[in-house]
């Protein structure tokens, strides 16, 4: 199995592995088992030149007539009224923006759970203790057309505590049994058999061993999973109404008011990072806490990680930790290289069982 040394001046494709489920049932790693959403023939035909980083919509097949570029501009300028499209949930701090109408402020606050989790004592540890500056994140004005971010997961540091999953649940009010980010446990015995499970998405941590494995255990490690923020997004290409789109700074988002819940994007996503909200009946996914990043904050899961296994930063700032890691001598890998999705999520210390 090949690995790739990732540097900033190189384009890299993700490394091919078998998908892992987010449910509570353990399973054996078997490359012949293809989950529902593994589709290698999804066309990827983004129009970067015309859309400036936003995937265009075929207006002949899209039933809704909406100019995506103008829509993004309105969202980023905070000029959309509360009765119009809501793209992604935001915390109460953003909902208080003076440029937004009162109705939109209320809608944004409700969607982010701001009314229920405005007590700092209820927030995950770390979210109420933010440094004044974060290299590559909070030390300069945010220019959406000049930003480029990356996410790094260091598997050698992950202890499977579940703090990241708790932070994500509370940030977005994710329903029980559904996960925007989750942590998988890999167990390898001396017969070279690999077992993978994610009970409750890793939300409760991994305090108990597996009792159904007869062979002697050789090794156990944990692998956090989340949206890969692909540069070539199969999810955006298959959406019939243009609900999934890419912002100029590279974040893959879902317009929940346009989404019709057809689940085409769920089928197309090679990383199992999408689900249908059981109440809203629309697609949801990890956004790398885009609303926080726009305010100069780190993603919630990065803030609360006690071991520094999750790292996030700008690729345009030499002082950011992510920039330094990608420019360094270390070997990083990405998932599902053969899919040609070019994700912005990289893994440090990924083992052969994962890649």
Residues of the chain with pLDDT under 50: 1-101, 103-132, 139
Other C-beta atoms lying within 10 Å of the C-beta of residue 198: 26
Burial letters 62-77, b for 16+ CB under 10 A, else e: beeeeebeebbeebbe
Cα angle 319-322-325, degrees, rounded to a multiple of 5:
95
Q: Do you know the residue count of the chain?
A: 355
C-alpha–C-alpha distance, residues 196 and 186, integer Å = 5
CA-wise closest residue to 169 among 128, 200, 132: 200
Three-state SS for 151? strand
- What is the pLDDT, as a whole number, of residue 207? 83
Q: What totals of helices (H) and strands (E) does the chain contain, helices first? A: 10, 12
Tens-place pLDDT, residues 10-53: 333 322 223 333 433 333 333 222 232 323 332 333 332 332 33
- What is the pLDDT, as a whole number, of residue 122? 35
- What's the pTM value of the predicted model, to 2 decimals? 0.63
Other C-beta atoms lying within 10 Å of the C-beta of residue 139: 14
Domains of the chain (ranges, CATH numbers): 27-348 (3.30.70.20)
Three-state SS for 273? coil
Which residues are CB-neighbours of 247 under 8 A, at least 6 positions away? 53, 54, 72, 76, 144, 253, 290
Edge-to-edge order in the sheet of strand 345-348 = 310-314, 149-154, 345-348, 332-333
């Amino acid at each position: 199995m090949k690995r790739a040394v990732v540097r900033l001046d190189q384009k890299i494709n993700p490394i091919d592995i078998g998908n892992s489920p987010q449910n509570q049932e353990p399973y054996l790693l078997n490359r012949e088992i293809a989950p529902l959403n593994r589709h290698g023939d999804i066309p990827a035909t983004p129009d970067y030149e015309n859309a400036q980083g936003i995937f265009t919509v075929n207006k002949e097949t899209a039933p809704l007539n909406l100019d995506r570029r103008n829509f993004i501009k309105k969202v980023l300028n905070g000029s959309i009224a509360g009765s119009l499209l809501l793209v992604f949930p935001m915390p109460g701090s953003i909902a208080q923006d003076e440029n937004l109408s009162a109705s939109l402020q209320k809608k944004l606050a409700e969607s982010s759970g701001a009314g229920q989790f405005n007590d700092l004592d209820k927030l995950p540890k770390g979210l109420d203790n933010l440094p004044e500056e974060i290299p590559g994140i909070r030390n300069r004005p945010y220019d959406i057309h000049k930003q480029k971010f990356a996410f790094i997961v260091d598997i050698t540091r992950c202890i499977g505590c579940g703090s990241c999953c708790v932070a994500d649940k509370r940030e977005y009010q994710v329903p029980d049994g559904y996960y925007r980010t989750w942590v998988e446990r890999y167990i390898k015995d001396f017969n070279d058999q690999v077992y993978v499970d994610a009970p409750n998405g890793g939300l409760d941590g991994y305090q108990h061993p597996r009792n159904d494995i007869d062979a002697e255990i050789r090794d156990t490690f944990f692998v956090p999973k989340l949206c890969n923020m692909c540069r070539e997004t199969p999810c955006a290409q298959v959406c019939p109404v243009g609900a999934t789109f890419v912002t100029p700074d590279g974040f893959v988002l879902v317009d929940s008011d346009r989404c019709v819940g057809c689940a085409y994007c769920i089928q197309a996503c090679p990383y199992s990072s999408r689900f249908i909200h059981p109440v809203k009946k629309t697609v949801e996914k990890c956004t790398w806490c885009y609303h926080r990043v726009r305010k100069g904050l780190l993603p919630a899961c990065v803030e609360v990680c006690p071991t520094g296994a999750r790292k996030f930063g700008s690729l345009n700032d030499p002082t950011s930790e992510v920039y330094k890691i990608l420019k360094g001598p270390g070997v990083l890998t990405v998932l599902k290289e053969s899919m040609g999705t070019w994700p912005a999520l990289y893994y440090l210390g990924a083992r052969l069982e994962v890649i």
